[in-house]
Amino acid sequence: MPPSLSDRLTESILGIIRDGGLRPGDAIPSARELAKRFAITTPTVREALRKLEATGAVEFRHGSGTYVGPTINNVVLANPHRPPITKDSVLQLISARLVIEPAVAAQSAVSRQPENLERLEAAVTNALVPPGGPAFALNFHVELAAASGNPLLQEVLASLLKVRVREQQQIRALYDNRARDHEEHQAIVDAVRAQDAVRAEQLTRSHLDNIRQAVEAAPEFS
Amino acid sequence: MPPSLSDRLTESILGIIRDGGLRPGDAIPSARELAKRFAITTPTVREALRKLEATGAVEFRHGSGTYVGPTINNVVLANPHRPPITKDSVLQLISARLVIEPAVAAQSAVSRQPENLERLEAAVTNALVPPGGPAFALNFHVELAAASGNPLLQEVLASLLKVRVREQQQIRALYDNRARDHEEHQAIVDAVRAQDAVRAEQLTRSHLDNIRQAVEAAPEFS
DNA sequence: ACTCACAAACTGACTAAATCACTTAGCCAC
DNA sequence: GTGGCTAAGTGATTTAGTCAGTTTGTGAGT
C-alpha cells in the first residue's frame, strides 16, 4: 500500500520548509509554484496543504500567501475538530489536569529559571486585567509547565488548555472567582520561586481541586 | 475574516457523522455525494476531507470509500507530521514521561478496575513475544494510563508514545533489555493490583529512569 | 518632496468536466 | 460450492479556467 501522492507531497513540502530553514511566520512557495515544481496540479497541492493546515504546520492567508504555522514543530497538539463540550468532558479534563499538573509544578519548582519566574509573574498579573487585553497569550498554567524546562510538557498543557478555551467563558460566567484564582496562582509562584517542590505540588493540587468543585457545583451547560 | 468554505465543510461533515451516530469504522457518504449534497465540487470536498484525515477523524480507502477514523473523538493527538527525531528529542520525551507517568501510575493504582488489570497483564506478556505478533496494539504504558479511568490521560500517553514508534526500533537495537522491562512492568502491575499508589509511582519512576539512562548512554543516532 | 489613488500582478478559493486506478459484489461458468 | 470475470461504485488526479482578496509600485495631484 504505497503512500498516496498527496501524502508524499506533504512530506516534500515539510522538507522544503525544514531544508529552507523556514520558521513560523515565514512564507512558503505559492500553490501554483509548488504545483509547477512537483509537476502536478494545484488541487493536489491544495489537498496536501490542507492536511498541513489541519495540524497547524501551515496557515493560509487569502490573497497574500501560505505561511509556516506556529505549531509545526509540535509533537502533540489539540484536536482542531473537537467534539462538543459537556459538563462531564470538562470534569474529565480537570481530573486529568489534577493528575498531571501537580507533578509538573513540582518539576518546575526544581528547574525554574529566572526568566520563567518573570513570565509567571506576568501571567499572574495579566489575569487580573479585564478581558479584552491583548496579552492573553500568557496562560498561567502553560507558563507553569514551561518553567519545567521541558517544551514537551508545555505542549501537553497547552493542548489540554486549548480545548478548554471554548468553555472558558462558560466557566467564567458560572464561577468568576478571579480574586481567588489570583491568590492561589500567586501562592504557587511563590513556592516555585522558593524551589519548594512539595509545596508547589500541593498548592497546584488544591487549586485545581477548587476549580473542580466549582464546576461540579455548576448546573449542566447547554 | 469569514471561515473558508472548506472550513465550514469540515464542520458540516463532522455534523453528518455525529448526527448520524456514526462510529469509528463506519462509512461516510462518498465524496461525489457530499459534493452533490452541498452543491459544491469534489476538489473542495476533498480538501475538507483531507483536513479531517490529517487529524484522524476520517480515513480514506482507495476504491472502497471514506470511513470514520479511530481518533475522531480525541481531544489531544500526536502530530502526524513529526519533526525528525534526535537523541535530544528522545531524552526530552523520556523526561516528560518521567514527570507525568509516575503520577498517572499512582492514580491508576487507586482507580484500576478488574478489567484494567486483565489488559495490563496481557500487555506485559504480549511484550515478550517476538515482534511480528499482531497483538502489538496493547502498549503497557498506554494501558497503565487507561487504568486511571480517565480517557484523557490515556490519550495523552498514547499521543506521546505514538511519536516514539519511529525510534522504538532504534532504542530496541541499542538497548534490547526485554527481560528487564518485563520484570519492571510486572512489578508495576503488582503494585497497581495491590492498589499501592506510592509503590506504583516509585516503580514507574525508576523504570523510566532506567530507560533514560540507557538512552543517555547510547551513541547519537543518525 | 510627499501623499494618496489606482492599477497591475501576485496570491489563495473554487468551479467544471473528465479520466485513471482500485475495490467490491454479483454473476456465470466450471 | 469455487474460481474467475465483469460491472458499478469509489477515491486519485488532471486540465483549464474564473473569482476574490492582498500587495506593490507607479503616477497624478498637492
* pLDDT on residue A28: 97
How, if at all, do strands A65-68 and A27-28 pair?
antiparallel
- Looking from the CA of B20 toward its CB, the CA atoms found within 13 Å total 14
Per-residue pLDDT tens digits for A72-130? 999 999 999 988 888 899 899 999 999 999 999 999 999 999 999 999 999 998 765 55
CATH, range A87-217:
1.20.120.530
Q: Is the CB of B134 under 7 A from strand D?
A: no
CA distance A51 to chain B (A): 5
Q: Which residue of A has its CA nearest to B91?
A: A150
- Say if CB A205 and CB A102 are below 8 A apart: yes
Q: Which helix (H) or strand (E) holds B84?
A: none
Q: Which residue of B has its CA nearest to A83?
A: B73
A3's grid cell = 503512500
Q: Does B6 touch chain A if contact means CB atoms closer than 8 Å?
A: yes
Per-residue pLDDT tens digits for A123-148? 998 765 554 444 355 789 999 999 99
* pLDDT on residue B1: 63
d(CA A131, CA A124): 14
d(CA B50, CA A46): 10
Give me the DSSP letters along A132-153: TBS-TT--HHHHHHHTTT-HHH
The two domains A5-68 and A87-217 share their CATH topology (first three levels equal)? no
Domain A5-68 coded CATH 1.10.10.10: yes
In B123-152, the residues whose Cβ lies within 8 Å of chain A are 148, 150-152
* pLDDT on residue B174: 63
Q: Inform me whether the pLDDT recorded for B215 exceeds 70.
A: yes
Amino acid letter for position A166: R
In angstroms and rounded to an integer, the radius of gyration of the C-alpha atoms of chain A is: 21
Q: Inform me whether the pLDDT recorded for B126 exceeds 90.
A: no
Enumerate residues near strand C (beta carbon within 7 A).
A 1, 30-33, 42-43, 46, 60-66; B 4-6, 40-44, 47, 61-64
* pLDDT on residue A99: 98
Interface A–B counts its CB contacts (< 8 A) at: 148
Place of cell 448526527: B19
User: How do the domains of chain B map onto residue ranges?
Assistant: 5-68, 87-217
Q: Which helix (H) or strand (E) holds A59?
A: strand A58-61
| Cα angle B75, B200, B138; round to 5 | 50
A112: chain B residues, CB-CB within 8 Å: none
- Cα of first residue to Cα of last residue in chain B, in angstroms, is 44
Of the candidates B108, B87, B96, B98, the residue with the CA atom closest to the CA atom of residue B215: B87
- Cα of first residue to Cα of last residue in chain A, in angstroms, is 45
Task: Determine whether the interchain pair A152/B78 forms a contact, defined as Cβ–Cβ distance below 8 Å.
Answer: no
Per-residue pLDDT tens digits for A157-203? 999 998 777 666 666 666 667 788 899 999 999 999 999 999 999 99
Q: Inform me whether the pLDDT recorded for B175 exceeds 70.
A: no
Q: Is residue B30 very low, low, confident or very high in pLDDT (cuts 50, 70, 90)?
A: very high
CA dihedral defined by B190, B192, B193, B195, rounded to 10 degrees?
130
CA distance B70 to chain A (A): 13
Q: Is residue B173 very low, low, confident or very high in pLDDT (cuts 50, 70, 90)?
A: low
CA distance B218 to chain A (A): 21
Q: Which of the 34-93 residues on chain A come under 7 Å of nucleic strand D at their beta carbon?
A: 39-44, 47, 61-64
* pLDDT on residue B127: 64
Tell me the mean pLDDT in the region A37-44.
96
Q: Inform me whether the pLDDT recorded for B131 exceeds 50.
A: no
Tell me the mean pLDDT in the region B157-166.
84
* pLDDT on residue A154: 97
B218 class by beta-carbon count within 10 Å (0-12 exposed, 13-18 middle, 19+ buried): middle
Q: Inform me whether the pLDDT recorded for B165 exceeds 60.
A: yes
Flag the least confident range among A55-59, A135-139, B101-105: A135-139
